[in-house]
Amino acid sequence: AGEPLDPSFPISKADPHSTFDEDNLVQTIFELFLAGTETTTTTMRWAVLNMVAYPDIQGEGRVQKELDTVLGPSRLICYEDRKNLPYTNAVIHEIQRDFPRKVINENCLYLPTSLTARHQTESNFPLQGTIILPNLTSALLDPEQWETPRQFNPNHFLDQDGNFVKKEAFLPFSAGHRVCLGEQLARTELFIFFTNLLRAFTFRLPEGVKEVNTEFVLGGTLQPHPYKICAIPR
């Protein structure tokens, strides 16, 4: 196994043949914060805003009723519980499907990639090195795949009996070699955060506020406008 590396030993001298250097380390840490926390936080901000905008979906008749019936008030929630919470699971998926145009991460919608020699066709067009921008929003909002693609509708992920249904067109984490490396972690975090919040609180607009602003603020990710809500303990 060898001796442990002295933390004070310069990275560049640890292994003269390594391709990992200090610049790589800085970039990796940057990506950890950007891709590992910021995108999940943004999705949760949209999720809470969505529950305020659609109180009938949040309320005692839907998500909260299912959580109370299946989990009770104090049982520890784990990711495996999603199998017994089809409506709640559908709502979480619909939040991700409905807002891809708002939550843009480095793997989801517009990350550039380059074509290689294996993409070459019989034409003389020089494909190798060409930058392409895959737009997966087209799959998430495809009217041939979703009954009401421009509306927030958890029934997109439910069959006639209320069972959860996976959809091939659901690609918020991209697909193939460009798929988000943190997909499973993000799925787990979103489920546990969302279910714990909805079981503990009901989210409502402050008194005197009639509607929420669902427009976005342009940035590295598309954030909701700052908003105030009331988190009422249940």
Contacts of 69 (CB under 8 A, 6+ apart): none
Predicted confidence at residue 212, as pLDDT, reads 87
Phi, psi (deg, nearest 5) at residue 16: -65, -15
| Percent of the chain whose predicted confidence (pLDDT) is above 90 | 46
pLDDT digits (tens, 9 = 90+) for 20-40: 778 888 888 887 777 778 888
Residues 162-170: contacts with CB within 8 Å, 24+ apart? 162/86, 162/87, 163/86, 164/82, 164/86, 164/89, 164/90, 169/139, 169/140, 169/142, 169/145, 170/93, 170/96, 170/97, 170/140
Please report which confidence band the pLDDT of residue 124 belongs to, taking 50, 70 and 90 as the band edges: low
Domains of the chain: 28-233 (1.10.630.10)
pTM across the whole model:
0.78
Strands 201-204, 131-132: pairing kind: unpaired
pLDDT digits (tens, 9 = 90+) for 188-231: 999 999 999 999 999 999 999 988 888 888 776 778 889 999 99
Residue 109 has pLDDT above 50, yes or no: no
**230 assigned binding-site residue:** no
